[in-house]
Every structure is written in structure tokens, then in C-alpha cells.
Structure 1
Amino acid sequence: MPSLDADAALWSEPLGDKPLVVLLHGYGSDERDLFSLRDHLPSAFTYAAVRAPLAPPFPMSGHSWYPIDGLQSRDPAGVTAGAEALLEWLAPLGERRVGLVGFSQGAAVSLQAMRLAPERFDFVVNLSGYAAGGSAPGDETLKTARVPVFWGRGSADEVIPPEAIDHTTQWLPDHSELVGRVYPGLGHAVSAQEIEDLSRFLEKQA
């Protein structure tokens, strides 16, 4: 797994004393995608949008956190590798409050990073994503740490397989302080209502 490109990250402001929120885009997108949400979110945080380290197969443009073609479609090892790359990028930033906001692939990687290093994250936001299968080193810790997690998804989302949704529905309540909402008629996307709910969730974490 290549390292994240530090020069590609977009920052809302220089890193200071504010808590940090890292934005992780979905498959075939880039760091500019979720960065556009920053003006709709609380100013109590510094926002950094990172670029996933892989390139999807031609003709798909953009970047990806792990392959989703062929037999590796939902391979937890790929999700873990993406999460490890994120943790590597975070390491030089030192000890500070950190939250993750991910969409789709970025959400899966965000949850997996929490599972690898529960002590590193104050909260995680899962937008149209899922929890990877298998076990991770921090799973037992998460049962008592109760990291706050917001999970939003559309009722008409046909991108994330039903079995992944079912697994996440079973897994998250036992491994987080879960706040969840299903948006009627929404596909694999983020709605204005969901952004409002996200903003309220972040305000409570500030």
C-alpha cells in the first residue's frame, strides 16, 4: 500500500490547537470532494481532506482506498491496509484530538482505523459506508471505550451490499456509542439533511 501524499492534503487552516477532523473521500473521487463540506460544519475544528493512495482501474478516474474489483471486492485486508496508511499519515501530527469523517470507502477505512487504534480517535462518522468483516486488534477495547459514531445512509443505496449493511447493523451498536439515521429515498450520496445532522453531531463532539 503506498503512503498518503502529504502534499495533496487540503487544510481549512494551519494546524493549531483546535481538534482535527480528517475527511476521507469515496471510490473514484479525491480530496476536493468532502472538503467542500467544511463551510457547512462547525468552526471549532480544523479540517483536513486527504487523498486515497490507489488509482482505480481504467477508465475510472480519481483515487481509491482499496480495490473493489474481482475477488477483492470487500476484502477486509484491503480496508485494513487503507486504514494503516491513514494512521501512518496521522503519526507525525502528534498527540491531539482527532475525528474521522468518511464517505463510502472512506467511511469503511475510518471505521477500520478506529478498530486498529481506538485510543487515537475521539469520534468517527460513517456516511454510506460499512464495517469490514473479520476481527481487528481494538475490537475488544471498543466494547468499553464506546467511541461516538454517526452512521448515515440512504434507504435507496444500492452500492453497499445488503450483507455489509446487515453486518454493520449488528457490529456497530456493540462497539461504539452509535447515532444512526436512514434517509428515505436517498441513494449512494449525502443529502442536505444528512449534512445538517452531521453538523449537529460534530457540535456535540467539539
Structure 2
Amino acid sequence: MTFPAIDSTAVRWSVPREKVASALAERPLLIMMHGYGSNEGDLFSLGQHLPQQFVIASLRAPLQAGPGYAWFHIDYDAENASLRRDIKEITASTHQLIAWIDELDSEVGGLGDVALLGFSQGGVMLTQLFRHQPERFAAGVFLASFAVEDTTEGGSERDQALADVLPPLFWGRDSQDPVITPDLIDFSRRWLPEHFDLDARLYPHVGHSLSLEEIEDAAAFLRKNVTG
């Protein structure tokens, strides 16, 4: 089965679509990726708290999931208290994201700085994009999310290439997040510092959500690490 492409007509932009190319000729791009069962409108309002230098593109994941969309399928493994997912499906979704970015790059005539923001499942896609193209993205904001082990062919080589670059990453979460299971947090706590220049922060009583303090810290991180 062919994995669905990113729907370019569903992208929410912070500037009128007809002005995207001219805006990106002068300004950096911030790509937002929502969580499981949500949509392109979920994170878009965060833009009011983020640096105004960015042109924001909030994407819709390609798979239908309940009332919204997903980047890959997941189900809860009660016996092992973990979230099951297929790394091959995650990789296929990553390739579709890269194809969308490549298409935009061609339209614009060469993108400048590109930053990534992912919440929950969207954060998984953020780490995968960095894995596949570690030098393409200026910085990442990784919220209430987790990293996964890449067991596909070439995975260890991609991880090493990412570790050689160590791009800046902001990781915000609540240590009592009821959705992200302990095994995924344990892996993320080991893997992320080995592959990113990591700024990790905890936000109590947020749960599987975001706080204004967290978003303001993420905004300061982006100002520090992205030019434009």
C-alpha cells in the first residue's frame, strides 16, 4: 500500500498562501506537527506566542484517526504498558514529510532556516526528520513527546550522522504525563542527549498538554537558535 502524501491544501499558513514564497524568501519557516487524533488547527494558535519572524506552516497528518489524523498508527499494549507502533510506517510518513518540504523548497527557490515543532506523535516525526536530514533543520521544539528506536536499514548510520551534528532541541514535558509511557520516556532520556544539543525542562501539573510558561520558554529557545 502506498503511504498517503501530505495534503498541501490542508496546511494552515500564518501568511496568505499566495504570499508564502515571497515571505519565505526573507523569513525562516516553522513547521508544526500535531498529535494523534488531532489536526492542523490544533497547534496553530501557539503562533501568537512564538517569534513573529517565522512563517508558520501547520500540517495535517496523512492518516485518518478517530475525529482527526495521525502520522502513524498506535495502539496500547496493556501487558507491557507501552504504545505499539511500526517503525516502517513511521519511516514512510517521514518520507512524505520530506517530499512536502522538498516541493516547498522548489516552489520558494531555496528555503532559508527551517525549524520544527512537534507535539506528542508530531514530536516523533520531528526526531525522524532530524534523523533523515540532520543538517537541514536549524532547531526543534519537542513537546510532550518521545523518541523511538530506528531499527530500519541504515538506522544506526543515520543516528551517528545526527550525533555528529547535534542540532539544538528544546524538550518540554510533565514528568507525570499520563499518556507517554515510562519505557518511551526512559529511551528518550537516554537517546536525546546523545543526538541533540538538548535543553530539557519539566513543567509540573501540565499533564499531556502545554503551559504558557513552556511556550514562552520554547519561544526564547527559537529566538536564540534560529536566525532571520
Range class of TM-score, shorter chain: over 0.9
Amino acid at match of 2:99: E
Q: State which of 69, 86, 110 in structure 2 corresponds to 1:75.
A: 86
In the alignment, the residues of structure 2 paired with residue 105 and residue 81 of structure 1 have an alpha-carbon distance, to the nearest angstrom, of 15
The 4+ residue runs of structure 1 with deviation greater than 3 A are none
- The separation in 2 between residues aligned to 1:161 and 1:86, in whole angstroms, is 26
CA distance in 2, matches of 1:124, 1:79: 18
Correspondence for 2:80: none
Deviates more, 1:126-135 or 1:189-198: 126-135
Aligned counterparts of 2:175 and 2:206: Cα–Cα separation in 1: 6
With structure 1 as the length reference, what TM-score do the two structures score?
Answer: 0.93
Other-structure match for 1:2: 4
Partner of residue 41, structure 1: 50
The reply to whether residue 92 of structure 1 matches residue 103 of structure 2 is yes
Q: Which residue of 1 aligns with 2:14?
A: 12
Match of 1:122 in 2: 138
Structure 2 partner of 1:164: 184
Per the TM alignment, residue 74 of structure 1 is displaced from its structure 2 partner at its CA by 2.7
Q: Residue 176 in 1 paired to residue 196 in 2?
A: yes
Deviation larger for 165-174 or 82-91: 82-91
| Ranges in structure 1 where 5+ consecutive residues have no aligned partner | none
1:135-184: CA deviation from partner (whole Å, max 9, x where unpaired):
53521111121110111111221111111100010001110110010111
Alpha-carbon distance in structure 2 between the residues aligned to 1:19 and 1:123: 11
Percent of aligned pairs sharing the same letter: 42
Does the 8 A contact of 1:155 with 1:186 survive in 2?
Answer: no
Closer, same or farther in 2 for the Cα pair 1:70/1:157, shift >3 Å?
closer
> Normalised by the size of structure 2, how large is the TM-score?
0.85
Q: State whether structure 2 residue 72 is matched by structure 1 residue 52.
A: no
**Do the aligned partners of 1:21 and 1:100 also contact (CA within 8 Å) in 2?**
yes
Structure 2 letter corresponding to 1:129 = S
**1: distance between equivalents of 2:191 and 2:222?**
22
Question: Residue deviations 1:34-55, cap 9 Å, x none?
Answer: 1111111001111100000001
Out of 26, 33, 38, the residue aligned to residue 29 of structure 1 is: 38
Partner secondary structure for residue 33 of structure 1 = coil
Task: Please give the alpha-carbon distance, in whole angstroms, between the structure 2 residues aligned to 1:146 and 1:68.
Answer: 28
Of structures 1 and 2, the larger Rg is shown by 2
Quick one: distance in 2 between partners of 1:140 and 1:133? 13
CA distance in 1, matches of 2:195, 2:164: 8
Aligned to 1:143: 163
SS across alignment from 1:55: strand
Q: Secondary structure at the match of 1:110?
A: helix
Q: What number of residue pairs does the alignment pair up?
A: 203
Partner-residue secondary structure (3-state), 2:179: coil
Would you say 1:131 and 2:147 are equivalent positions? yes
- The secondary structure found in structure 2 opposite 1:44 is coil
